[in-house]
Copies of this chain bind each other. A is one copy, B any other.
Amino acid sequence: MAKLVECIPNFSVSKEQDPAVFQGLVDVAEGVKGCTLLDVQSDGSHNRCVFTMVGSPKSIEEVSFLLCKKATETIDMTKHVGQHPRMGATDVIPFVPTMDMTVEECIEISKNVAQRISNELKVPTFLYEDSATSPNRTNLAKIRKGQFEEMGDKIKQEEWTPDYGGTSIHPTAGVTAVGARMPLVAFNVNLDTDDLSIADKIAKQIRGSSGGFKYCKAIGIMLDDRNIAQVSMNMVNYEGTPLYYAFEMIKMLANRYGVNIIGSEVVGLVPAKALIDCADHYLKIENFDCNKQVMEYHLVK
């Protein structure tokens, strides 16, 4: 079975505002053997684009560096305007384990790439999320606070010395955050009630920040078109907090408020294993080896 890593770098340029620079990045992404460009999102008002790539660890390490190199050469942050917060030409590079990979292996990749970017491109780098070297660097928003314009002063403070590359920003490319994280699964559970306060209470009970499941973020929202309340979740580590933990806990709590689950939603892409782990639980499968027994895993190249 192939080892696969996902990489979702964010660049401070858009197809809408600077098509030539944008296309230069696409060309780099498509030019490295062993990885696939799955998706590109560009937003003109954010003046930002997001690439989704999957490939072997080596090819992903290479393409993420080459993209950062291209962005450093072609994007000038002193002239960048956009609604989305940003601190560098390459703003952030997350690595996500996709197949037969651990987060630890992705942390290793993130450190290699972060070091290479600072050495060869002279862009200081921060390690964030699971790669962070201190708790206050886990959250990207905290690192990025002040944005490109204030970053020159910020990284001279001892608390914000970059992990690699010294205390001076790159004059036109700023600084970059690099890190590893588990894939995120957007999972929502619908209740047979129009009482939003019930969804709010359940969301508060199940989310990690208030004592619930560590890797679950949750809020209550109304689905106005159906007039029902929903517990809307981001499952940020489906191995640590499986989807069926959230589902069964919501079922139990809803029952306490006299309501029922009428359905759920998985939004966007989901790794097969996040769902197969649920089948494994409900069917009580003994000794199932996802990597060996799921046919599609043998077909990915």
Contact = CB atoms under 8 A, between A and B. Distances in A.
Count of chain copies: 2
A301 B299 CA distance: 7
The 7 closest A-B pairs by CB, nearest first: A278-B279, A275-B279, A282-B282, A263-B286, A299-B300, A279-B279, A275-B276
Contacts of A287: 265
A269 B284 contact: no
Interface in A244-296: 244, 247, 261-266, 268-272, 275-276, 278-280, 282-288, 293-296
Contact of A283 (B244, B262, B268): B244
B38 A283 contact: no
Given A275-B279, A276-B272, A282-B278, A296 B293 contact: no
Nearest to A243: B283
Contacts of A262: 284
Contacts of A99: 296, 299
A63 to B, nearest CB: 16
Q: Is the interface of A mostly helix, strand, loop or mixed?
A: mixed
Interface of A: 4, 6, 36, 38, 54, 98-99, 183, 190, 243-244, 247, 261-266, 268-272, 275-276, 278-280, 282-288, 293-301
Nearest to A268: B293
B283 A269 contact: no
B293 A264 contact: no
B272 A296 contact: yes
Given A38-B298, A275-B275, A270 B283 contact: no
A260 B248 CA distance: 21
A106 to B, nearest CB: 15
Contacts of A293: 266, 268-270
Given A98-B299, A296-B300, 18 more contacts: A54-B298, A54-B299, A98-B295, A243-B283, A247-B282, A262-B284, A264-B283, A266-B285, A268-B293, A269-B294, A269-B295, A270-B293, A270-B295, A275-B280, A275-B283, A276-B276, A278-B278, A279-B279
